[in-house]
Amino acid sequence: MGWGFVWLMVVLKIPIGLLLWLVWWAVRQEPDDAAGEAPRGDGGSKVPQQRDPRHPHSPLPRRPRDRGPHGDPLLPPPPRTRTLVARSRMREH
């Protein structure tokens, strides 16, 4: 039990102690009040937000894309594949 024990049990606990002190300090901190300004409980301005006319919203949901210039039918699903179940061979002694 030499320097390794001291390193693990004392020196590595310093950041944990500093973190606990920081949390303690933040909990005891007084809230900042704006000087000369009344507290507002409405959460912001009462002016309704305007929609940006440059970016109109399209109606949802959108139609699916056409498959070509002549409205080709949908592609067929891929062929189904079966997995091979491998059986072990019986070794006779």
**What local confidence, expressed as pLDDT, does residue 3 receive?**
83
**What local confidence, expressed as pLDDT, does residue 66 receive?**
63
The full set of domain ranges for the chain reads 1-28
Distance from C-alpha of 66 to C-alpha of 63, rounded to nearest angstrom: 9
Q: What is the pLDDT of residues 52-91, one digit of tens each?
A: 777 676 677 777 666 667 767 777 888 887 777 777 777 7
Per-residue pLDDT for 17 more than 90?
yes
Place of tokens 């004392």: 10
Average pLDDT on 38-52 reads 64
The pTM of the full predicted model, rounded to 2 decimals, is: 0.33
* DSSP states along 13-42: GHHHHHHHHHHHHHHHPPPPPPTT-----S
CB 50 within 8 A of CB 56: no
Does residue 61 or residue 7 have the better pLDDT?
7
